[in-house]
Amino acid sequence: MLTADEFYLIVHNDSRGKPKLHSSAAGIGLAAALLGELVLFGQLTVSAGNVTVVDRRPPADALAHTVLDQLVGESQHQSVRTWLSFLGQSAATSVAERLARAGVLRRQENRRLLRTSVSYAPIDLNAVAWPATRLRALLDRPEPPTVPDALLLGLVSAAGLTREVLWSAGPRAHHRLSVLIPALPPPLKELVAHTEAAVGAAVLRGMP
Amino acid sequence: MPPTTATGRPSNVSDALARRRRGVPSVIFFVLSAAAPLTVVAGVVTTGYAVTGVTGMPLAFLVVGAVLALFSVGYVAMARRVKYAGSFYAYVSRGLGRPAGVGAAWVALLAYNALQVGLYGAIGAAATPVLERLLGVAPAWWVVALVAWALVAVLGLLRVDVNGMVLAVLLVAEIAVILVFDLGQLSHPAGGSVNLAAFSPDSLLVPGAGALLVLAMTGFVGFESSVVFSEESKDPRRTVPMATYLSVAIIAGLYALSSWAMTVAVGPERISARAGEQSVELIFNLAAAHLGDTALTIGQVLFMTSVPAAMISLHNTTARYAFALGRERVLPAAFGQTSPRTGSPRVASLAQSVLGLVVIVLYAVIGWDPVLQLFYYAACGGGFGVLLLIATTSIAVMAYFARTRAQESLWRRLIAPGLAAVALVAIITVAVDNFAILLGVAPDSVLRWAVPAAYPVAALVGVLWALVLRRSRPDVYARIGLGAESATLLAAQDFGGEPARVRAGSSR
């Protein structure tokens, strides 16, 4: 599963698909995960607060392809923070759609009086709960996690979800998490740092 | 940084982000809703007349407004250039160094906490008349205060930042009621003629002028929050400065008019005695006499909603201060935690609520007077603290521009903040001299020195703490003054200790 998909499921690890994370932090985290996927594919890099496309060949995934096209098409915008804000507006919907295409979530239209709202409900509850379970187990194992897993852990921590994901984990797991993020490759480490800063800035602004 | 609009071609990114940006009216509403005008006019102004016995209040509002407008010139110019523009201590860190910044942060924590907690002393007086009329009960002040406290504590955690629309409607209603009351007072002048004496400079050139200036400052608290939107405004060069100047002008005009109208209706020579007898009831009693019962009820209900609105707003401001310091790790990191589901600064908000509870219980048990000894003293103490912060910030602004040699006109980087600094230091000097009059205590009272001395002590402790951090935790020291942005320093830093390994390979 791709990073943003897992992040989405961790945030929506609930039988009714209700988010565990408030919308602005969830949007920022998902946007970071989408950028992170492109970094992991080797198509994007992050340094000094800016994103740079290094490989324009279309990625296999349709959503990643769309994001890359947007980054290429609007190259006048380079700031990571600008892209986190921009992608954050639509990331929840676009990642949910990707999960629906993959058969993990079911799109539901709820009609209430004059309004129609769309929600995404899990098809298999176990599949939805898996990423969080997997991350918990990962921190208890002695061998170091893979880069994508370390990125996912970093984003979970940056979004302020550590306690929710690691609720049953001991102090050793928390310690391992704290040394994991500084060990990320520099572009991903910076992406995680900007995610944490953007989530904090949203809190300080006070309003969504 | 906001994307520039200089590029000619259309951009989805710019358009999408621009939709969420704020314009001038939206920022003004945000600033003024935190100001809660009826709380100031009914609570601070009347108690101020009663305690100080000086009639120059209207002029004091105009003087402080002018000084703050001058201060804002450099303040908003610097806000455009710093990453975390949310609070005074960030400016002080940037301009005068990190130790001074932590000192300012401690002063700010003290001042804003005092202002917030003080409001619990006013809510009893604000709610009792309404409760008596509607329900026929008159609960003790601390019962009302505890209910309000619970409301604020819960809303603070849920981050139901009371709906912006509700606040805007309340704000407009409050201002409308204040203006109607003012008209009522001005059309029923004492002795038959409208008296302009309260605006004459003589009324402020008396012992006690410093007291009035501190009180007036209290009325302006909240104007500084406009810069939070520096990066989220439609036109960074225009929106925030315009909104700041307009907010200061609106506050100054409204409060000067209202405090003057009161002296006209009662008579300048009698205002202090009448305010002493009736306390916060004064403007409502005047309204009842001039405008009848309906106006009175509307006014009292709005006063009752105005105080909690101010409490919630100040609670959030204070909690965010502690949150930012927690993010920097200057306070324990726990203060930087958020509640995932609501995004509220959980620990910071709880800590502020605990402080409020302790103070309410303390006052209730000892039996101190809630309006005078809690609301009014805290308003004076808090207002004085904010005055110290603004004065320090104006000096920090000059230092910042002198050091960075940023392209900015001489007026903005030196003259305006310089004049503001001189005026603010003068106000502080007079205020310290007049502190006994401000509090209405004997000149040899302990409070007279204890309240103003609390700030230098807090600042000193802050400076020492920063120096300790510089020696023992340079990584934290580097983060001071950056607020939530301090997280980005992580990326650039080398960490002590052994970093964990991660396996190569990007598939699983």
CB B156 within 8 A of CB B352: yes
What confidence score (pLDDT) does residue B3 get?
47
Mean pLDDT calculated for residue range A53-68: 96
Q: How many CA atoms, within 13 angstroms, populate the side-chain half-sphere of residue B259?
A: 35
List, in order, residues 6 or more apart from B344 with CB less than 8 Å away: A203, B156, B157, B158, B159, B319, B338
Higher pLDDT, A91 or B54: A91
Give me the pLDDT at residue A95, please: 97
Specify the long-range contacts of residues A90-95, CB closer than 8 Å, at least 24 apart.
A91/A4, A91/A27, A91/A30, A91/A31, A91/A33, A91/A34, A92/A8, A92/A23, A92/A26, A92/A27, A92/A30, A93/A118, A94/A34, A94/A63, A94/A66, A95/A4, A95/A5, A95/A7, A95/A8, A95/A30, A95/A33, A95/A34, A95/A63
Is the pLDDT assigned to residue A63 strictly greater than 50? yes
Whole-angstrom Cα distance, residue B3 to residue B308? Answer: 38
How many CB atoms are closer than 10 A to CB A29? Answer: 30
Residues 6+ apart with CB under 8 A from B385: B107, B108, B110, B111, B112, B114, B455
Q: Tokens 């209730």 sit at which residue?
A: B364
Residue B484 has pLDDT above 70, yes or no: yes
Amino acid B27: pLDDT: 87
| Residue B188 contacts residue B265 (beta carbons within 8 Å) | yes
Chain centroid to CA A134: how far? Answer: 16
Q: Cβ of A189 and B13 within 8 Å?
A: no
Which of A21, A79, A201 is closest, CB to CB, to B484? A201
Residue of A81, A160, A180 with shortest CB distance to B500 = A180
Residue B313: per-residue pLDDT: 86
HSE, side-chain direction, 13 A CA sphere, residue B20: 18
B13 pLDDT tier (thresholds 50, 70, 90):
confident
Range from B111-120, B203-212, B363-372, B468-477 carrying the lowest mean pLDDT: B203-212
Q: What is the pLDDT of residues A146-179, one digit of tens each?
A: 999 999 999 999 999 988 888 777 788 888 888 8
Give the gap in angstroms from C-alpha B183 to the nearest C-alpha of chain A: 36
Residue A203 sits at the chain B interface (C-beta within 8 Å): yes
pLDDT at B163: 57
Instruction: Please give the average per-residue pLDDT across B308-335, as a whole number.
Output: 91
Give me chain A's average pLDDT, please: 91
Average pLDDT over residues A114-137: 88
- What letter represents residue B99's amino acid? P
**3-state secondary structure string, B179-226?**
HHHHHHHHCCCHHHCCCCHHHCHHHCCCCCHHHHHHHHHHHHCCHHHH
Rg of the Cα trace of chain A? 17
What local confidence, expressed as pLDDT, does residue B490 receive?
Answer: 58
Domains of chain A by start residue, with CATH: 3-205 (1.10.3630.10)
Q: Count CA atoms within 13 Å of residue B173 on its CB side.
A: 16
CA A193 to chain centre: 13
Check CB contact under 8 Å for B506 and A149.
Answer: no
Q: Which residues of A touch B161 (CB under 8 A)?
A: 206-207
**Which of A41, A147, A204 is most worth mutating to test chain B (most B CB atoms within 10 A of its CB)?**
A204
pLDDT at position A208 is 46
- Distance between CA atoms of residues B209 and B427, nearest Å: 9
Residue A88 confidence (pLDDT): 95
- Which residue of chain B comes nearest to A80, CA vs CA? B1
pLDDT value for A197: 94
pLDDT of residue B31: 85
B178: CB partners within 8 A, 6+ apart: B37, B38, B41, B254, B258
What letter does residue B495 receive in the DSSP assignment?
P
Hey, what domains does chain B have and what are their CATH numbers? Answer: 41-492 (1.20.1740.10)
Show residues of chain A in contact with B344, CB under 8 Å: 203
Nearest CA in chain B to A77: B3
Chain B contact present for A204, CB below 8 A = yes
Q: CA B139, CA B141: separation in Å to the nearest integer?
A: 6
A155: chain B residues, CB-CB within 8 Å = none
pLDDT of A104 > 50? The answer is: yes
CB-based burial label for B361 (10 Å; 0-12, 13-18, 19+): middle
Q: Which residues of A touch B17 (CB under 8 A)?
A: 82, 85-86
Instruction: Give chain B's radius of gyration (CA, Å).
Output: 23
Q: Which long-range contacts (CB under 8 A, 24 or more apart) does B419-423 make?
A: B419/B70, B420/B67, B420/B68, B420/B70, B420/B71, B420/B73, B420/B74, B420/B394, B421/B391, B421/B394, B421/B395, B423/B67, B423/B70
Out of B13, B228, B232, closest to residue A82 by CB: B13
How far does chain B reach from its first CA to its final CA, in angstroms? Answer: 36
| B504/A147 Cβ within 8 A | yes
| Whole-number pLDDT of residue A92 | 94
What pLDDT was estimated at residue B5?
A: 46
Is pLDDT larger for residue A115 or for residue B264? Answer: B264
A197 CA: distance to closest CA in chain B (Å): 5
Taking only the tens place, the pLDDT of each residue in B407-466 is: 889 999 999 999 999 999 999 999 999 899 888 888 888 888 999 999 999 999 999 999
Read off the pLDDT band of A107 (50, 70, 90): very high
Q: How far apart are CA B431 and CA B386, in angstroms?
A: 13
Q: Which residue of B has its CA nearest to A46?
A: B491
Determine the 3-state secondary structure of A201 from DSSP: helix
Distance CA A134, CA A146 (A): 13
What integer pLDDT is reported at residue B497 of this predicted model?
35
The share of chain B scoring above pLDDT 70, in percent, equals 93
Whether the predicted pLDDT of B402 surpasses 70: yes
Question: How do residues B361-396 score in pLDDT, each as one tens digit?
Answer: 999 999 999 988 999 999 999 999 999 999 999 999
The residues that bridge with A112 in the sheet, in sequence order, are: A115
Closest residue in A to B327 (Cα) is: A200
pLDDT number for residue B506: 40
**Interval B217-255: pLDDT, tens:** 999 998 998 888 887 788 878 999 999 999 999 999 999
Lowest mean pLDDT among A25-34, A83-92, B266-275: B266-275
Task: Supply the pLDDT for residue A17.
Answer: 62
| A37 reaches B (C-beta below 8 A) | no
Single pTM value for the model: 0.90
CA-based torsion, B150, B156, B157, B160: positive or negative: positive
Residue B162 has pLDDT above 60, yes or no: no
Q: Do A182 and B228 touch (CB under 8 A)?
A: no
- Does B11 sit within 8 Å of A76, measured CB to CB? yes
* pLDDT of B160 over the 70 cut: no
Percent of chain A, pLDDT > 90?
65
For the stretch B168-213, pLDDT in tens is 888 899 999 999 999 999 998 888 778 787 788 887 778 888 888 9
Which is more confidently placed, A96 or A18?
A: A96
**Is the confidence at residue B263, as pLDDT, over 60?**
yes
pLDDT band at B54 (very low <50, low <70, confident <90, very high): confident
Confidence of residue B508 (pLDDT cuts 50, 70, 90): very low
Residue A59 has pLDDT above 90, yes or no: yes
Residue A173 at interface with chain B, using a CB cutoff of 8 Å? no
Local confidence band at A79 (pLDDT 50, 70, 90 cut-offs):
very high
CB-based contacts of B498, cutoff 8 Å, min separation 6: A179
Cβ–Cβ under 8 Å, residues A81 and A198 = yes
For residue B144, give the amino acid letter: V
Q: What is the overall mean pLDDT for chain B?
A: 87
User: What is the per-residue pLDDT for B210?
Assistant: 87
